[in-house]
Structures are given as structure tokens and as C-alpha cells.
Chain A
Amino acid sequence: MPEKLEILYASHADFVWRTLLRLGVTRHDVGDAVQDVFLVVHRQLGSFEGRAAFATWLFTICRTVATRRRRQYQRERENVTVDSTEDIIDLRADVGREVEHNQELQLLNLILDSLDAKQRNVFILFELEKMSGEEVSLALSIPIGTVYSRLQLARDAFRQALVRHESKERFAVRRAGGKL
């Protein structure tokens, strides 16, 4: 069984790791959370019916684990936010394009954080994890039509957040120029 779990881990660890981070698990806790997810996988693999892609099943586990972690943060009343992606990037193996990539990821996370949670889930699975609409529907247990409508709302919100960010950046540049 550990050998089979190892195969699953090898193939899906990245997905679980980034999904947990996107779902609000802190960088500090994500290691434990990944462990939690795969222990659940180990335990519940027999209940996986194979009707959905394995990743969609994994996502539902990630969502539960992340929810538990977030509740824990609330209980502990810690002012914990999703860490900067700097930690992620610092440890990335491929550091050749880190600066630009780092900035992009920081902005992406900033925008994702600003989205409604339901819309964000759809956006993450469809746009970032490249799941099909049907897979997203199964993962989130929502009708396919709802997937599409939430995706559209998420895209609109994403664009608005990006515009706001760019406006702030331009304003900041103008202010800096004025001071100079």
C-alpha cells in the first residue's frame, strides 16, 4: 500500500500542495496539511469510486483539510494570512526566472485572495489546474451550469481586481514621480 500511495504522492503532491495554499492554508502549515490529505487518501482510497478523476476527489479532501485549518486559525485568533509567495519561490528549484515569476505569483495570489471563495475555487480548478468543467462540477458538487456562471463571475472579478491593481500602481508611480 505505501508503494501505491507513493505513486499517488509522486503524481499529485504538487497539486495538493498548491491547492492547499490557494485555499488559505498558510505556508507554515502546508506541510502538515499535505500530510493530512495523503493520510486521508491512504485511509479512504477504498471509498474512491472512480467516477470522477482522482484529482477532483483529492480536491474535495484538500478543501476539507483547508477548512479545518482555517477554523483552527480562527480559534487560535492568530492574525495569520496566506504567506507571501516569496517563501515558495525561494525554495523553487528553477530559479532562472524567479524575479518576474515571483512578482506574477504575488499578484496572482493577491487577486485570488480578493475573489469570492466559491468563484475562486472554480477559477483555480478550471484556469490553473486545467480541469474540465465536468471535473470541476464533480469536485465542487455543483451543476455544470453553475461552474460556468461562477467561472464567468470569477473572471470578471479577476479582471476588475487587476484593473484596480494597475490603477494603484500607476498612481503610486505618479506619486513617486511627483516627489522626485
Chain B
Amino acid sequence: MTDPIRWSEADNATSPIEQSLVRAGQQVSMPKDERLAIWQSILSGVSAGATTPFSTPNAEGMPSLPKAAGVFGPTSILALQSAKVLLILAVLAGLGVGGYHWLGSAHAGRDAVFSQATALADPSAIPKSVGSTQVTPALTQPETATAATAKAQAPVASRASQLKEESLAVMAARQALRSNDAAKALNLLEQAQLKFKRGGLAEEREALTIEALAKLGQSARASAHARAFLAQYPRSPHAQDVQRFAK
């Protein structure tokens, strides 16, 4: 069976307002400062979770979740403590983690790392669950949880800093592209490539590079890059956009 045409793509079968509403819904994304704060909170939970018995499923078959690590729960004392730390981190990070979007792609979160996810399916990559008798107070006692948070924050801060720097570079390049300064964008992207060879935003950088090359009239290079991109990231959320450059 063939899928029906989506409203956002069916110019003749839908009204303008239907299309407009659906497209608006496709473009919703998480506020950048919130994104970083939640990530910090997740890391705290992961750090403490290594000794936390997730293995007791609830009625829905889902594991129990650490609560004290949350920074959004209004009743948690730890939440207040963590929130202060995270607020500072969020400010320091300059909202940089939000730079994962490429030209406002509506589906930036979708399937971008399918291949990585598949690779991650190796059970050995997951910390083994511990028995229920090994319940640690890590997530129930603020002192321990705070220690876990602090432990997690050092490497996180380093990664966040690097990620922030990379995302700023990507954003600067994107801004240059939007301002029709493809040469500047390409220069920024090439510098970023040298600086962040193993950066977390390589996919985004490469997608922008392809567009910059195309805008500069270097269609052959753009095409070569696009083909390589599609080969390397076949399920990338940018694949559809990049496809048009792969001639």
C-alpha cells in the first residue's frame, strides 16, 4: 500500500489553512535553554542510575524512574538546588546546544542517528541492572544525588562547552548563508571542520557545506559532497534537502 500524500505536501488536496496549521506543528521545537537543562538532569539520573534498580517494572512494563534527579519537579528540594546549578550552566552555555537544527528543519529530531541507535542495541553497552536488594539512596538522598550530579557535571561541562563552541560555529555559518554570504559560510564551516573533526554536529556542518557550495556555483563539488553525505547519513533528517544537490 502506498501512503497517502501528507497535507503539508498536498497543495491541491488541502486548504491553505490546513497546510499552514500542519506546517506550523512540524516546526515546534524545544526551547534551547530548556534543552540543556534537561540534558544535565538526564546525565545526573544516568550517573546515579548505574546503581539504581530500574529492573522492577511497573504496571505498564516500564522501569521505575529516578525522581530526585529531576529539576522540574516543583516539590523537590534537590530540584531547587539543581535548578540553580543548571540555570548557571544554561546561561554559560549560551543556549548553544540548540544548534542542532539546520535551516529550521521541521523534523530535526527524527531518525538522525538511526544507524548509531542500531549500533547501540548491543546489550553490553547498557549497565547491568542490579538486584533490588542493592537499592542505593543515590536518588533519594539529596547529599548523594548532589554528589552524583557534581560528578556528572565535570565532563558534561567540558562536552557542553565544546558542543556550545561547535554549535556557535554552525549557527554563524548558517547565519552567513541566510545573509547570502556563502563564501563566509563556507570559510566558517571549513574552519569548524578542522577544529571539530569529531564534533557532534558533523552532519549539520556537512549539510550546510553542501548548500554553501551550491550557492557559490560550485555545483560539482556540492554534488560530490551531497552524494558522500547521502552515503554516510542515508537516514539523516537533512537527506531530503541534500538530495536535490546530488546530481
Task: List the interface of chain A (C-beta within 8 A of B).
Answer: 1-18, 21, 28-32, 34-36, 38-40, 42-50, 53-55, 61, 64-65, 67-68, 85, 88, 91-94, 101, 104-105, 107-108, 111-112, 126-133, 144-145, 148, 151-152, 155, 158-159, 162
Contact = CB atoms under 8 A, between A and B. Distances in A.
Nearest to B6: A127
Contact of B21 (A7, A8, A44, A104): A104
A7 B126 contact: no
A12 to B, nearest CB: 5
B176 interface: no
B231 interface: no
Interface size class of B (residues with CB under 8 A): 35 or more
A18 B70 CA distance: 19
B96 to A, nearest CB: 11
Contacts, number: 219
5 contacts: A14-B108, A31-B34, A36-B65, A85-B28, A162-B21
Interface in B118-173: 118, 120-127, 129, 152, 155-156, 159
Given A45-B125, A91-B33, A104-B20, A155 B62 contact: no
Contacts of B41: 31, 35
Nearest to B110: A55
B113 interface: yes
Interface string B26-39: 11111111110111
Contact of A10 (B62, B127, B200): B200
Contacts of A14: 28-30, 35, 101, 108-109
B122 to A, nearest CB: 7
Interface of B: 1, 3-4, 6-8, 17-18, 20-22, 24-35, 37-39, 41-43, 45-47, 49, 54, 58, 60-63, 65-66, 69-74, 95, 97-98, 100-101, 104, 106-114, 116-118, 120-127, 129, 152, 155-156, 159, 200, 235, 237
